[in-house]
């Protein structure tokens, strides 16, 4: 059985990921709509190929040996705005650039996504880990996630409730892992011209001012992110990264107390925030620095960003093995110094061992 559309062969994953590491993918198919996707998946099944869904490649660590299967990129950039009572329904194809969506909604005077400005990647990836920043999470505005089941081609439209969203989490990461391709997401946004200001980083920007406009909040978020090298800027030496490499950990109140007692005497006040379910959210970057890993710390060509302890960067020519070695060293160091086990945020592709084994 042949692919219904031309596919590329032996494309280096380094060229498709923001970390710029990773060996070749056997095939790369770009699918512009659900029909193309269903037909392509049928061929992959027929040939017994493993399938990997690629978004913007901004949250991905690909192995040096590459991926001996089919990488699928959904390129549907459809974007439609439909009035829905006093709100607006925004329907976006999975291939729409995330920040393009945010820019368009902010310019249209629609609130709900403004704090998520500057996040790299594409719409299709947003619900998978429920992206969030500065007090907003994408799950707050999602009304439907449209999917195609990889094994059967079956189309579904899932409500936010069904997706089981949590902190950087959804059922797409657990129960439904590798089951579906997200082909589109529908958002319900408010018509309002004032932006959300919830976090201190933003509050400081608007000190003494009431309710800044959506566009001002967007600009402020972009500026803060730029200052932390959390934007894809070709001129930034920290640019080759996958953003935050570790998830900010949520622990029990007792565990948080223990970490505080252990670290505060020498490290200043520990940031800690209430999390859903009675847990306490800790700041991974703070723990990493307390464990002795300073910004700019290097291991071969892999390093910690000079602007943010949570981002691992490829300083130029790094291998995936070097990134893994650095991540492993940091994870062990934080576990020993702080008693907290950090979980990586990016998806690992093409490795022959489980993540816990790789990072141990």
Q: Please report, as ranges, the residues that interact with ligand NAP according to CB under 6 A.
A: 129, 131-134, 168, 199-201, 228, 243-244, 248, 271, 273, 281, 283, 285, 310, 345
Of 271 and 317, CB closest to ligand NAP: 271
| Residue 162 falls in the annotated catalytic set | no
> At closest approach, how far in Å is the CB of 346 from ligand NAP?
9
Q: From the candidates 73, 146, 168, 218, give the one annotated as an active-site residue.
A: 168
Of 122 and 168, CB closest to ligand NAP: 168
d(C-alpha 297, C-alpha 303), whole Å: 5
- Return the residue matching tokens 């001002």: 216
Of 53 and 131, CB closest to ligand NAP: 131
> At closest approach, how far in Å is the CB of 103 from ligand NAP?
17
Of 83 and 200, CB closest to ligand NAP: 200
CB distance 48 to 343 below 8 Å: no
| Residue 345 falls in the annotated catalytic set | yes
d(C-alpha 7, C-alpha 267), whole Å: 53
Nearest of 10, 36, 15 to residue 25 by alpha carbon: 10
Of 173 and 228, CB closest to ligand NAP: 228
| Residue 254 falls in the annotated catalytic set | no
Query: Which tokens in the block code for residue 290?
Result: 């307390």
d(C-alpha 251, C-alpha 222), whole Å: 30
Of 131 and 188, CB closest to ligand NAP: 131
> At closest approach, how far in Å is the CB of 300 from ligand NAP?
24
Q: From the candidates 58, 229, 244, 305, give the one annotated as an active-site residue.
A: 244
> At closest approach, how far in Å is the CB of 338 from ligand NAP?
15
> At closest approach, how far in Å is the CB of 244 from ligand NAP?
4
> At closest approach, how far in Å is the CB of 8 from ligand NAP?
28
Question: What residues act catalytically?
Answer: 168, 244, 345
């Amino acid at each position: 059985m042949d692919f219904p559309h031309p596919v590329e062969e032996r494309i280096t994953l380094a060229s498709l990921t923001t970390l710029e590491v990773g060996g070749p993918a056997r095939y790369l198919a770009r699918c512009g709509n659900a029909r193309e996707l269903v037909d392509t998946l049928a061929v992959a099944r027929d040939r017994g190929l493993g399938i990997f869904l690629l978004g913007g490649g901004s949250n991905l660590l690909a192995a040096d040996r590459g991926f001996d299967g089919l990488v699928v990129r959904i390129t549907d950039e459809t974007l439609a705005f439909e009035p829905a009572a006093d709100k607006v329904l925004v329907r976006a194809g999975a291939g729409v650039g995330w920040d393009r969506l945010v820019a368009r909604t902010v310019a249209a005077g629609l609130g709900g996504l403004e704090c998520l400005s500057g996040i790299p990647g594409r719409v299709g990836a947003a619900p998978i880990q429920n992206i969030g920043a500065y007090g907003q999470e994408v799950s707050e505005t999602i009304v439907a996630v449209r999917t195609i089941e990889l094994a059967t081609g079956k189309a579904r439209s899932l409500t936010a409730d069904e997706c089981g969203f949590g902190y950087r989490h959804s059922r797409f990461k657990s129960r439904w892992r590798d089951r579906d391709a997200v082909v589109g997401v529908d958002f319900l946004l408010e018509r309002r011209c004032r932006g959300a200001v919830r976090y201190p980083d933003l509050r400081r920007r608007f000190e003494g001012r009431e309710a800044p406009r959506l566009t001002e909040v967007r600009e402020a978020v972009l500026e803060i992110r730029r200052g932390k090298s959390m934007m894809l800027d070709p001129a930034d030496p920290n640019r080759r990264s996958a953003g935050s490499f570790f998830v900010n950990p949520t622990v029990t109140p007792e565990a948080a107390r223990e970490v505080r007692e252990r670290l505060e005497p020498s490290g200043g006040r520990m940031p800690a925030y209430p999390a859903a379910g009675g847990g306490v959210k800790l700041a991974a970057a703070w723990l990493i620095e307390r464990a002795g890993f300073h910004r700019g710390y290097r291991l071969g060509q892999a390093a910690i960003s000079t602007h943010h302890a949570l981002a691992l960067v490829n300083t130029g020519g790094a291998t995936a093995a070097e990134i893994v070695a650095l991540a492993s060293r940091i994870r062990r160091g934080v576990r020993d110094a702080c008693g907290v086990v950090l979980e990586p945020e990016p998806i690992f592709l093409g490795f022959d061992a489980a993540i816990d084994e790789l990072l141990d």
